[in-house]
Amino acid sequence: MAKKTALITGCSTGIGKLAAKTFHDRGWNVVATMRSPEKESELTQLDDVLVTRLDVTDGESIREAVDAALERFGAIHVVVNNAARGGHALLEQSTDAMTRDMYDTNVFGTMNVCRAVLPHMRRQKEGTIINVTSMAGMVGLPLETSYCGTKYAVEGMTEALAFELKPLGLRARTVAPGAYMRTDFTANANDEHFEAGGEDLAAYAKQLREHFRSSVSAEGGDTADPQEVADLIYACATEDRPVHNPVGNDAQLIMSMIGAPPRQEFLEKAEPLLLPKSQER
């Protein structure tokens, strides 16, 4: 049986790199993409791993990465859209440039990667797109107004995409991690606007941040193993999973507090309204 291939964005650190290793260790070809592949020294040592440049805000780099993947491995069976930008600030503190930068990466970048791979998946009549979102795509979090907006957008886009792809034999899923403080994502987030708006507003923002950090710590965010996120991404690629997949104690707590029936149950009920009975293509 031929090895399958996963293309993963944002592999330089954190969950992206863990996901690349997880797929590789379980016998997959991996296209590990990042903005600066020349800085990568670990993944380049692994067999059947292609490390190449992909900046989700640069359409040409997306096309080149997809072409390189197809030339090396002949197919792309799974795409993991993991690359993202974060930033902590009250909406009043957030600049237009900061917000647009997040949307360009988290939303439009994800869409652009999807557009680039979907024609290939349709031709091979097989493929799964996995979009890594966040607990911030399930509940509005103070200091995360822009980031929440992007992650809610990707959750909704993926849900719509899942309906579009089902008649074609393709799949779309989200993986929504809670706060995993052992990754580099928080350290890499843009906090340069956190002091904006004067002393009173900055003090209020700091108060909100400290409270959230203590809540995350109480739910195990400081010690939570991000490998469980990579494992769930792999499960979404290889198992019959629901469209939305939260992971982490805090994300699971939020879902239990919402108290609604599982989203997948609603989607299955809504499907006859949205898709024709005959789904053969």
Catalytically active residues, by annotation? 147
Sign of CA dihedral 100, 154, 254, 83: negative
Cα-based distances in Å from 110 to 15, 18, 117, 130, 154: 16, 19, 11, 10, 8
For residue 51, the SS3 value is: strand
Strand partners, 49: 30
Distance of CA 58 to the CA centre of its chain: 18
CA distances from 188 to 9, 30, 86 (A): 16, 24, 8
Instruction: Point out which residues pair with 162 in neighbouring strands.
Output: none
Pair of tokens at residue 47: 């067999």
The four Cα atoms 99, 100, 101, 105 give a dihedral, to 10 degrees, of 110
Q: Which helix (H) or strand (E) holds 248?
A: none
Residue 129, φ and ψ in degrees, nearest 5:
-105, 125
Total count of residues recorded for the chain: 281
Q: Which amino acid is at 278?
A: S
